Structure 1
């Protein structure tokens, strides 16, 4: 079921140890920013149901090639009844074994605050939401799982106020006053999209906690560096959680999965945040590579390729293999050049089941 993944494994043999691997006893965790978000509510569901959209077809092919057991998606619009996610699952079920369990909480994207959150003097814009969004649920997250999701044990940290994160670094005006205002900052949630702790039940009966997130790009702000600081603290949240600073810590085993929008070595942003996380001795970094040996997971064009998407298992788990799958190009509209179905690669990691 994983033809491209098999080729990737062959390319990675010098870099990973497969001596003890048993395919029947491995679990594949994947993260993929699908970039399926549309310009208005209901449009993604419409396109999924029509079955004629080349981008959706290419994304479905990428997900089919990955054939992950637990799949964390970003860039997928949320709706109140979960109809878009259910339709995506139904389409996938025609290709690969079905995902019997799904999870998608309301994201912070598009959730209006009633405050001028970016200091531009206007209210009700996409930047005045808890997370950038022109409508509720734009660019949300979702989890598809073949393993049972322990819904009663899910922790959604998305409502955590930024100022309540221990050690938070908050944006200020040059005179040191809160940016954009004291009231706005007091209402600002930390999570741009969401931070979830979602336990899934392993065949052994032991839970595996999936720590899912999607952080803001550290760009599109002013000298106050609001988005850069927020991105830094969104990434750092996981270490604060593991330190016990946000209540109960996730029990081993766990895996951090999602989009940090930050490369440890290049590009804008406070790169020390992701570098510190990757060096944390409680987790391991498989450094997945594509068939050409590259570790970059996105290509935004002018800013070049970067590594911004991650699957980071705890030290209690044995990594068997890892890799990247780039989605196919699709025909562009209006005579432009073809473009990738998503600028992001799907990131996958195979873990030995305890």
Structure 2
């Protein structure tokens, strides 16, 4: 895991507000957001080539959405990660730092771009095809290491951070891993997290807030002989629950060192690939999180209701969930209505940016 810190450039207002632009956060409130931007390529280095020079149309649209919503802390998902983290640097410097579509540039001087299990070879035949190689034999599905990774961008300082990329699925007590399907060799290398789970402290003027981020695997598998039904997805969501403020279960061990003291207040963010009532998620998987008494299920909406993604007839899979002690002052899904000039941004990704504004008591 690498923490990237850089001095931010001054932000100069460009153009006027558009009809779909969210109102600024209330005084003293912090805007947390998550956005699956779909900035990914199947070929290693493909995204770097696209981003270089600042001319990629899709990346410019992603940057414009961010510039219009102006989150203070953003979990940006599906951003391919190269070993040096250049893709994030390119996106910040050549897209976010430049005006897009009449929106003002935005600077994020603090960032995290943790390593991802996606595309990372396991060395074991996980999918049972007799060959130990390929996307389905990676620790998390991906055609090259770092595909579908995620980053955290922050206008506020970031404190201590921990990842849980190496936590083995088999070590989850009463977990849903189908042990009869996986060999001992597979059980010894397959992690719970398909990308990674991240816990990092956001330092605010009123005190620290714990940010918990993840991108669990979609709850769909191709093997009809096993009742998969979102087993890994459900256990990945369970880890987020177990990372909430309170007593930490013994199995929750970070990749490096000890987790240490955690703030009393937290926000969970990410494309969790689970809808409460629709789709293929395991029954109760997301309810375990959103119904936890420590969580406020704010349910941000747009003109299209509570859905946050376009596929399967519309799904709620992207979440920003503050803990109960935080005051919620605003929320929304950036999904301009048909006829709004900014509706041109709706095709940027099959997900839409979700935000919640919170204020420490």
TM-score (norm 1): 0.86
Alignment pair present for 1:44 and 2:44:
no
Tell me the residue number matched to 2:102: none
CA distance in 1, matches of 2:277, 2:268: 20
Match of 1:260 among 239, 250, 272: 272
The Cα of 1:73 is off from its aligned counterpart by: 0.8
Question: Which stretches in structure 2 are left out of the alignment for 5+ residues?
Answer: 1-12, 100-104, 254-258, 337-341
Q: What SS is found at the alignment partner of 1:277? A: helix
Instruction: Tell me which residue corresponds to 2:64.
Output: 61
Name which of 159, 163, 176 aligns with 2:170: 163
> In 2 relative to 1, CA 216–78 (structure 1 residues): closer, same or farther, beyond 3 Å?
same
Structure 2 counterpart of 1:230: 232
Compute the displacement of 1:282 (Å). 0.3
Provide the alpha-carbon RMSD of the alignment: 2.3
Q: Distance in 1 between matches of 2:334 and 2:146?
A: 26
Number of matched residues?
Answer: 325
Residues 114, 125 of structure 1: alpha-carbon distance in 2 compared, 3 angstrom cutoff = same
Matched-pair contact (CA < 8 Å) for 1:54–1:330? no
- Aligned residue for 2:219, secondary structure, equals coil
Q: Secondary structure at the match of 1:142?
A: strand
The reply on whether 1:124 has 2:133 as its aligned counterpart is: yes
Task: State the distance in 1 between where 2:131 and 2:222 align.
Answer: 15
> Structure 2: how far apart are the matches of 1:107 and 1:258?
15
3-state SS, counterpart of residue 28 of structure 1: strand
Higher deviation after alignment, 228-237 or 241-250: 241-250
Asked if structure 2 preserves the Cα contact closer than 8 Å seen for 1:5 and 1:323, the reply is: no
Tell me if structure 1 keeps the 8 A contact 2:67–2:106: no
Give the structure 2 partner of residue 111 of structure 1.
Answer: 120
Residue ranges of structure 1 left out of the alignment (5+ in a row): 10-20, 173-177, 332-338
Alignment-derived partner of residue 76 in structure 2 = 73
Q: Cα distance 1:224–1:200, how it changes in 2: closer, same or farther (>3 A)? A: same
Query: Structure 1 284/187 Cα, relative in aligned 2: closer, same or farther at 3 Å?
Result: same
What is aligned with 2:217? 216
Mapped partners of 2:212, 2:185: distance in 1: 30
What is the alpha-carbon distance in structure 2 between the residues aligned to residue 326 and residue 45 of structure 1? 28
Write out per-residue CA displacement over residues 12-68 of structure 1, whole angstroms, 9 at most, x where no aligned residue. Answer: xxxxxxxxx972311000000000111222221221123332211211111111100
On the 8 A contact 1:5/1:325 being kept in 2, the answer is no
CA distance in 2, matches of 1:50, 1:253: 40
Check if 1:284 corresponds to 2:296.
Answer: yes
Displacement over 6 Å in runs of 4+: 327-331
State how far apart, in whole Å, the 1-side matches of 2:229 and 2:88 are.
Answer: 29
Instruction: Show the counterpart of 1:325.
Output: 334
Q: Distance in 2 between matches of 1:5 and 1:286?
A: 23
The answer to whether the 8 A contact 1:27-1:69 is kept is yes
